[in-house]
Chains A and B, each alone.
Chain A
Amino acid sequence: MGLFSYIKEKTLINLSSHAEYRFSTIAVILISIIFGFTTVFITYSVYSITEKGVPEWSFYEITFMIGIYQLIMGLYHLTFDIEELSFDVKEGTLDQKLVSPLNVILQYYNFNIESFSSIIAAVVMFIIAIPNISLNLSISYLVFFVILLVISLLSIFSIKLLTSSTAFFITENHSIVENLNNIRSRFSNWPMNIYPKGLQLLFATVFPIAFICFVPASFILGKDVSFYFWISPIAVILFTLVSVKFFNYGLGKYSGTGS
């Protein structure tokens, strides 16, 4: 099958590119693991200086949730790099993707071995957290949990696609992408219950970051997520459709650098 062998070849190319810079690849992975622990570090400090810390969540529960965040981000970046779209639009290199017979979005498939850092960080967080929390591990819960992880991946993908697509309209979209990325990562790393109701609703619908790690973690931890749980598939799927539409609209508008 064409797509399969495309993915295989691109993976090989990505791997050998990284092999050319072995030292930096390994160093980047190690240093990135440290960065992965930023929020855990803040959480740890909060719990060491206060009696009860963050409302309704324990240190280990938050660590577990951030572990899911790291896992999802790791899986996403391991295979995809839609952020490159901004560069492609600005530099006109998108032309090359347009003249190729493959779907444009698919060409942003990218095997990035450095993302293993997030997955390693996630594993360490799970090792810290799991002995100290109680998880619902029945089969049906696990099945739903996996479905929620897929939804989580989908929401990451569509948020990134949407923000990157702004490049079609605002060529220098660096600050927008950067800031929205920051908003996404900073807001999704804390339990949603610290935010006002209006913001929670926003994060469950228009800007669905609640599904990245809060909903899956709450669900498997047995916390009440009924509100999020029932709207999650609809909200994320609608959001994905909108993102893809927005991307296609932008692509239609794309006018090259005309040099």
Chain B
Amino acid sequence: MEQPIIRVKDLSKTFRTHKRGAGFINSLKSFIKRDVFVKKAVDRISFDIKEGERVALIGQNGAGKSTTVKMLTGILKPTNGEISVLNLHPFKERTKLNKNYGVIFGQRHNLWWDVPAIDSYYLFKAMYDIRDDDFEKRLKIVRSSLGIKEYLNTPVRKLSLGERMRCELGLIFMHNPKIVFLDEPTIGVDVVGKKKITEFLLRINKRFNTTILLTSHDMKDVENICKRAIIIEGGKILFDDKIGYLKRDYIDSKTLHLKFSKPLDQKTLFGKDLERIGTSRYQIIFDNKEDIGRFLKQVLDDSSKEVLDVSIIEEDLNEIIRNIFEGKRK
């Protein structure tokens, strides 16, 4: 069996923080005495990731995604549990691991602000000891597939957010990392930029078998880039499987839209409630167990009504995720 590239078992991280009340008196109080409380950011989570997988970490703000990524990259020391990345302990053997991964923290930048991005690429080349021919080869790939040819020679502060993020993304692939951690890489990026980023990530994944661990709040990105999702809430894993299964398991209803040649004068149709949404348009909600096919056949066979248009609408991923977080899970 294939060895996982990332192994996490019963991993926990707790923080001690101070509580500071609002208001003037409280801030004076905090000057003398502070209440300390322990917060469980990550609570006994376990998962394995194999080489070449594209995995999304999904969770609300403060759910523990970033903490998990920080433990995987060796920035944070785990409080408890087992963790190994490429058979190394990230915190204890961080320096050995560094060259094998790439990281993007969406809100912070690796590129130097006042100089063209290409200068930062050369700095990275020196930092990661990249061979000249490897560097040139990968620069070529990155340049064309991210479409950043003309941006690389402009001072970074003059680039738009999307342009800058593409340059950032290219940078962390220069040393051919085995794993990339992408923390909100598409935040604030426009549609064109997002498409470029998605295509690029898929291409790199296919060509170099690079493992991708993505955290994002944008479910479209998640769907486009990843095959597997790990959903974290309150420091615990709620779901860990293929994104397709997420739909299968969590979608509890489908909506059928029907358009007839003329308005109907009835409230139900073959036992289902009709809800009018246009002059001659209706919507009918089915739960998962019901057979839409049979219903449709009945409607189409009914010669008293002429159906002009049919569409079936699934809940999208955003809604599914929201349902999960709001506790409406099965």
Chains A and B touch each other in the complex, with CB atoms below 8 Å apart: yes
Q: Which A positions have Cβ atoms within 8 angstroms of B?
A: 2, 5-10, 12-13, 16-17, 20-21, 92-93, 95-96, 98-103, 252, 254-256, 258-259
CA distance A235 to B69 in the complex (A): 42
A16:B127 contact, CB within 8 angstroms: no
Which single member of A12, A100, A259 contacts B66 (CB below 8 Å)?
A: A259
CA distance A223 to B120 in the complex (A): 50
B115 contacts which chain A residues (CB < 8 A)? Answer: 13, 16-17, 20
CA distance A95 to B75 in the complex (A): 6
Residues 117-134 of chain B, each 1 if its beta carbon lies under 8 Å from chain A, else 0: 001101101111100000
Q: Given that A2-B129, A96-B110, A100-B98 are known contacts, is A258 also in contact with B15, CB under 8 Å in the complex? A: yes
CB distance from B6 to the nearest CB of A (A): 15
Q: Which B positions have Cβ atoms within 8 angstroms of A?
A: 15, 41, 66-67, 70, 73-77, 94-95, 98-99, 101, 103, 105, 108, 110, 112-115, 119-120, 122-123, 125-129, 155
B113 contacts which chain A residues (CB < 8 A)? Answer: 17
B74:A98 contact, CB within 8 angstroms: yes
B108:A93 contact, CB within 8 angstroms: yes
CA distance A8 to B122 in the complex (A): 10
A96:B108 contact, CB within 8 angstroms: yes
B77:A252 contact, CB within 8 angstroms: yes
B114:A101 contact, CB within 8 angstroms: no
CA distance A42 to B99 in the complex (A): 53
Which residue on chain B has the smallest CB distance to residue A18? B114
A101:B99 contact, CB within 8 angstroms: yes
Q: Given that A13-B115, A259-B66 are known contacts, is A99 also in contact with B15, CB under 8 Å in the complex? A: no
Which single member of B94, B101, B103, B126 contacts A6 (CB below 8 Å)?
A: B126
CA distance A92 to B103 in the complex (A): 14
CB distance from A17 to the nearest CB of B (A): 4
B126:A9 contact, CB within 8 angstroms: yes
A92:B108 contact, CB within 8 angstroms: yes
B155:A20 contact, CB within 8 angstroms: yes
Which single member of A2, A96, A103 contacts B126 (CB below 8 Å)?
A: A2
B103:A255 contact, CB within 8 angstroms: no
A254 contacts which chain B residues (CB < 8 A)? Answer: 75
Which single member of A7, A13, A102 contacts B120 (CB below 8 Å)?
A: A13
CB distance from B312 to the nearest CB of A (A): 40
A7 contacts which chain B residues (CB < 8 A)? Answer: 126
A98 contacts which chain B residues (CB < 8 A)? Answer: 73-75, 94
CB distance from A183 to the nearest CB of B (A): 25
Which single member of B75, B101, B127 contacts A102 (CB below 8 Å)?
A: B127
CA distance A254 to B73 in the complex (A): 14
Which residue on chain B has the smallest CB distance to residue A99? B103
Closest 4 CB pairs of A and B: A101-B98, A6-B126, A5-B126, A9-B123
B75:A17 contact, CB within 8 angstroms: no
CA distance A252 to B74 in the complex (A): 11
Which residue on chain A has the smallest CB distance to residue B175? A101
A99:B122 contact, CB within 8 angstroms: no
CA distance A102 to B327 in the complex (A): 45
CB distance from B157 to the nearest CB of A (A): 9
Known: A20-B115, A100-B98. 17 other contacts (CB 8 A): A2-B127, A7-B126, A9-B123, A9-B126, A10-B126, A17-B113, A95-B103, A95-B105, A96-B103, A98-B73, A99-B101, A99-B103, A252-B77, A254-B75, A255-B77, A256-B76, A258-B70
CB distance from B106 to the nearest CB of A (A): 11
Residue contacts A-B, CB under 8 angstroms, 29 given: A6-B126, A9-B119, A12-B119, A13-B115, A13-B123, A16-B119, A17-B112, A17-B113, A20-B114, A20-B115, A20-B155, A21-B114, A96-B103, A96-B110, A98-B73, A98-B74, A98-B94, A99-B101, A100-B98, A101-B98, A101-B127, A252-B77, A255-B76, A256-B76, A258-B15, A258-B41, A258-B67, A258-B76, A259-B66
Q: Given that A17-B114, A20-B155, A252-B77 are known contacts, is A100 also in contact with B15, CB under 8 Å in the complex? A: no
CA distance A6 to B122 in the complex (A): 9
B105 contacts which chain A residues (CB < 8 A)? Answer: 95-96
B99 contacts which chain A residues (CB < 8 A)? Answer: 101
CA distance A9 to B105 in the complex (A): 23
A101:B103 contact, CB within 8 angstroms: no
CA distance A174 to B115 in the complex (A): 29
CA distance A122 to B120 in the complex (A): 34
Q: Given that A8-B126, A98-B74, A102-B127 are known contacts, is A13 also in contact with B119, CB under 8 Å in the complex? A: yes
CA distance A12 to B119 in the complex (A): 8
